Amino acid sequence: MKWKKHYMLTGELVSSKRGKHVKTKSLILREDFQIELLGYLRSIPDVQRKPSKLARHIHTSFLFRFADENTPVVPVCSKTVKRWMLMLGFEKRIHKKNYYVDGHEREDVKAYRQEFVDKMLGNDEKGIRGYCSRMVTYADDPGDKATNRPPQERFLPIPPELNGGEKRIVFVVHDESIFYSNDATKIIWTRCEDLNSLRPKSNGKSLMVSGLMCSCHGFLCGEISTNGVSRTVKSYKIIKPGKNKDGYWKNKDLVAQVEDCIPLFEAIHPNCEMLFAFDNSQNHHAAPPDALKVSKFTLNDKKQTIKDPILLRDTQFIDSEGNIVQQTFYKNDGTVIKGIKEVLEERGLWDQVANLGKRGGKLMTCEHCSNTKRTMDDPITNCCATRMLAVQPDFAETTEWMEEVIVSKGHHIIFFPKFHCELNYIEMVWAYMKSDTRENCTFDFDNLCARVENLLENGIPLSTIRKFEERCFRFMHGYQLNLAGPLLDYAVKKYTSHRMFPSSFVVEEFEQLYQDHLKSKKTVGKN
């Protein structure tokens, strides 16, 4: 390595090397050039280390120095640079979005996750029979790959063992995703001289899909007849957001979609109960529009507004003699909403707060309640009229719209833990669809719409959906076994044939296996 020292001292190449190379020898085979290039590449942050960007700089900064009478140095293209980089041991990696971020391992999120997986998979110690034990499972026999069985015949259903009176559960997952008309594949193979097609810089027009799917059928589409009128119902909805389009998608739209789809799921899965699973967003926990809230009232009667009417469901309360009494909050044919005063009078509770105003306190909302809201376990109930009504059982009960719609039809609802997209297989379905739309991107919105619609209708193989679902269940099982991070990733990848890890699975032994795997990876990397 004499020349290196020489080079570092003088900035010149050892002259004796010149001319000794075979004329056709590529520059990259010269060790001196390799070292120069390697040093240069390492000096650049990995995110900027793109062959296309480096080509020009390599030429202007040091390539010219390697020219001699035998090897005229011509400008290099990114393809050459890429080849050089591959030879120097660089490789292109897709930087995976790490899902162990933010609140993934936050204590409250972990506690909720534990609760979630127990509900899903069951927990013998806690005496919970999981939803999963009432579902059809799909097993991919490892032999299937070897026998070349066509994919549509793989992941065949295994029916659950039901106890007397139990119904089969169908796991229905929901999620929303946005597709952009200019979202084309980022990785392209092209010749340098062909590199002249410019791409639009913006994302382009977008469409949103809100979908509900099961792993037995995928996205659903079917005929439903209500009151003798037959109509087509789809379990997915395509929304084109933005101005002058279908408008923005709100929680009430999702509730309407779910309500619309329940008869479809019931028709396609006779004698089954559905378990609908949603993101744990605040939006999905919203109260029904006619929920009983004190904030909707004034002390005395008020006129109903026609434009944005206040909705209040009828209710019932138990009077002092123990009778159940029905109560409605409207009067004069619905044009007037009763005031809190009248509502409390009807319930025989007005006397407890009537004197507050005279004593100098605020009758409607006391100072304390207008500043800090008292909690439900706060024993003071008669500080003001608002508080008096708020603590009544029908007002105190929290109702969620989505839950109400689903449970009232005899089905179930569950919310995925926050930050855990790896547990909802529809996320993988979106990714599958996006890789298709990216590859077939023509930068045209109508084409995107058609492509997405086609994929939703029948473009996703059931075996793929089932494979995705099994993977999510393995994640759940891993969390139940207290695996996390890269160890869990490795376990999920290793046991691909079933939804649960085998009964022979011992966490400690597996940890050892994982450590061995890491060591072997390191030695492979060194060689």
Q: Which residues bind Zn ion (CB under 5 A)?
A: 214, 216-217, 366, 369, 383-384, 387
Cβ distance to Zn ion smaller for residue 216 or 413: 216
Min dist. Cβ of residue 193 to Zn ion (A): 51
Can you list the alpha helix ranges (DSSP code H) found in 176-315? 251-268
Q: What is the 3-state secondary structure (H, E, C) of 99-127?
A: CCCCCCCCHHHHHHHHHHHHHHHCECCCC
CB 499 within 8 A of CB 477: yes
Min dist. Cβ of residue 276 to Zn ion (A): 13
Closest by Cα among 260, 292, 281 to 406:
260
Min dist. Cβ of residue 520 to Zn ion (A): 42
Phi, psi of 497 (to 5 degrees): -90, -20
Closest by Cα among 493, 488, 520 to 507:
488
Min dist. Cβ of residue 233 to Zn ion (A): 14
CB 292 within 8 A of CB 394: yes
Min dist. Cβ of residue 389 to Zn ion (A): 11
Sequence-distant (6+) residues with CB within 8 A of 83 are 28
Min dist. Cβ of residue 295 to Zn ion (A): 14
Min dist. Cβ of residue 525 to Zn ion (A): 44
Cβ distance to Zn ion smaller for residue 286 or 366: 366
Cβ distance to Zn ion smaller for residue 388 or 405: 388
Cβ distance to Zn ion smaller for residue 289 or 361: 361
Strand intervals (E) in 111-255: 137-139, 156-158, 168-180, 206-214, 218-219, 221-226, 229-234, 236-239
Min dist. Cβ of residue 387 to Zn ion (A): 4
Cβ distance to Zn ion smaller for residue 135 or 209: 135
Q: What is the 3-state secondary structure (H, E, C) of 224-243?
A: EEECCEEEEEECEEEECCCC
Pairing of strands 412-415, 272-278: parallel
Min dist. Cβ of residue 347 to Zn ion (A): 17
Min dist. Cβ of residue 386 to Zn ion (A): 6
Cβ distance to Zn ion smaller for residue 206 or 386: 386
SS3 at position 12: coil
Closest by Cα among 342, 328, 340, 356 to 391:
340
Cβ distance to Zn ion smaller for residue 59 or 374: 374
- DSSP letters along 382-409, please? -SSHHHHHHTSHHHHS---HHHHHHHTT
CA atoms within 13 Å, Cβ hemisphere of 315 = 21
Give the whole-angstrom CA distance, residue 268 versus residue 392. 42
Cβ distance to Zn ion smaller for residue 41 or 139: 139
Cβ distance to Zn ion smaller for residue 214 or 441: 214
Cβ distance to Zn ion smaller for residue 49 or 217: 217
Cβ distance to Zn ion smaller for residue 210 or 437: 210
Sequence-distant (6+) residues with CB within 8 A of 70 are 18, 19, 21, 23
Give the whole-angstrom CA distance, residue 371 versus residue 365. 10
Phi, psi of 47 (to 5 degrees): -70, -25
Min dist. Cβ of residue 279 to Zn ion (A): 21
CB 335 within 8 A of CB 305: no
Cβ distance to Zn ion smaller for residue 85 or 274: 274
Min dist. Cβ of residue 130 to Zn ion (A): 19
Closest by Cα among 508, 430, 519, 469 to 132:
469
The token duo for 241 is 């957001």
Cα of 173 vs its chain's centroid, Å: 11
Min dist. Cβ of residue 464 to Zn ion (A): 15
Question: Which amino acid, residue 524?
Answer: V
Can you list the alpha helix ranges (DSSP code H) found in 337-458? 340-346, 351-354, 367-371, 385-390, 393-396, 401-407, 426-439, 445-454
Cβ distance to Zn ion smaller for residue 102 or 457: 457
